[in-house]
Amino acid sequence: MKKRLSKNIEWSILVCTILLIIIGLIALFSATQNAEYDEFKKQILWIGVSIPFVVVVTLIDYETIAKISPVFYVAMIILLVGVLFTEPINGATSWYNLGGASFQPAEFTKIFVIILLALVMSKMVAKGKKEISRPTRLLMLIGILAVPVLLIIKQPDYGTALAFLVAFLAMLFVAGIDKKYIIAGILIVAITLPVLYFFVLPDHAKQRIDVFLNQDLDPRGAGYNLTQSKLAIGAGQLFGMGLLKGNQTQLGYLSPKTTDFIYSVIGEEMGFLVAAAIIVLYVVLITKAIYVAKTAKDNLGSYIATGIAGIFLFHMTENIGMTIGLLPITGVPLPFVSYGGSSLLCNLIMIALLLNISGRRQKAIFMEE
């Protein structure tokens, strides 16, 4: 069984992931030289911690994981409630402090929300393709999504909340939801966005949107990080200024350079060629994830792979877009490249799920079990 599983796995997904991690480690090495390479060392440690999880998640049948996902979903909700009572870090109560490390439950919630939604959707579709378009069924799915999303918004972490929504919409589309709901959703978003801006969003979030719309509005205040990011990427030109030699990176103008603006570090010190190569790697990774969704042996695997593709698509687009001024700054990390233990482990588990689903595309695999 393991031999056939290995043969069917979409190994190009793993190759793209490893290449992104390597580029990220090189950038972190350069960005942390003035801090005794602290975050660089921690990232290597987290890679080591993640490997056993990747192996286990790849080998266990994803249908088994889906069956126990409601238990983990409830556990994540409890953790999301508890984290609201922790000490704020940079104005957000998003992390549990575990001695020398931190744990961000919102990252892991992505996994179990996607799996639980996929499980419920697959059961609905099994009763008929139109079942998922019934208002009561749709409200059930929205309820599963809304609880963690609202708790994450409360932290506040708007970027992660948006990632959930993108994944959910992608899964609904693949599940064959009625087009009238898609049109209604677009209208609701168009109506609610101005309301959210004027009456819900805090001042710092409004400032980020204002700066995005008018990037010369406050170059030394709310627009400072964006200005420095664009200067760094522009200075890199084709081949970059060289590792450990970037002006904005090494002189401390980019902040936070190991997480939100790691792409700016790469653009400045490694140049356009490497920065463009990162985008190509993500495009291949996401395309392969969609291919896994199309070729999965059942709807459950298809929906899980689609949700994961949506998560990666959002993170890549938002992080790179915000560093070059095409999208508002939201503090979304770049998967596999930005520093962050919870983010790295979560993303590698999602990669393991893609490998899991791709390896089980032929039902013949299970005949020998």
In angstroms, the CA 27 to CA 22 distance is: 9
Rounded to whole angstroms, the Cα distance separating 367 from 187 reads 48
pLDDT band at 1 (very low <50, low <70, confident <90, very high): low
The pLDDT, as a whole number, for residue 313 is 97
Mean pLDDT to the nearest integer, 101-117? 93
Mean pLDDT of 40-62: 95
Whole-number percent of the chain with pLDDT over 70: 96
Average pLDDT for residues 82-104, to the nearest whole number?
85
Does 368 have pLDDT greater than 60? no
pLDDT tens for 171-218 read 999 998 988 888 888 888 788 878 877 777 777 778 878 878 777 777
In the chain the first and final C-alpha atoms are separated, in Å, by 7
Handedness of CA 348, 349, 351, 355 (dihedral sign): positive
The values of phi and psi at residue 89, to 5°, are -120, 115
Q: Which two tokens stand for residue 333?
A: 């990390």
Instruction: Report the chain's mean pLDDT, rounded to a whole number.
Output: 90
Rounded CA separation 198/165 (Å): 21
Q: What is the mean pLDDT of residues 119-139?
A: 91
Q: Which residues of 328-364 are buried (b: 16+ CB within 10 A; e: fewer)?
A: bbbbbbbbbbbbbbbbbbbbbbbbbbbbbbbbbbeee
Q: Convert the pLDDT of each residue in 233-256 to its tens digit.
A: 999 999 999 999 999 999 989 888
Euclidean distance between CA atoms 97 and 62, whole angstroms: 31
Please name the residue ranges forming H helices in the chain.
2-8, 11-31, 38-59, 62-83, 105-126, 135-154, 158-175, 179-199, 203-213, 224-236, 247-250, 262-295, 299-323, 341-359
* pLDDT for the residue 369: 35
Question: Is pLDDT larger for residue 213 or for residue 26?
Answer: 26
Which token pair is 50? 């993640």
CB 45 within 8 A of CB 116: no
Instruction: Give the confidence band of 2 by pLDDT, cuts at 50, 70, 90.
Output: low
Residue-wise pLDDT for 263-293, tens only, equals 999 999 999 999 999 999 999 999 999 999 9
Query: Which pair of tokens denotes residue 317?
Result: 């687009």
Task: Compute φ and ψ for 318, nearest 5 degrees.
Answer: -70, -45
Residue 175 is predicted with a pLDDT of 92
pLDDT at 194: 82
Residue 283 vs residues 120, 171, 199: alpha-carbon distances, Å: 29, 19, 37
More confident residue, 89 or 352: 352
Token output for 321: 């877009």
Q: Are 171 and 310 in contact (CB under 8 A)?
A: yes
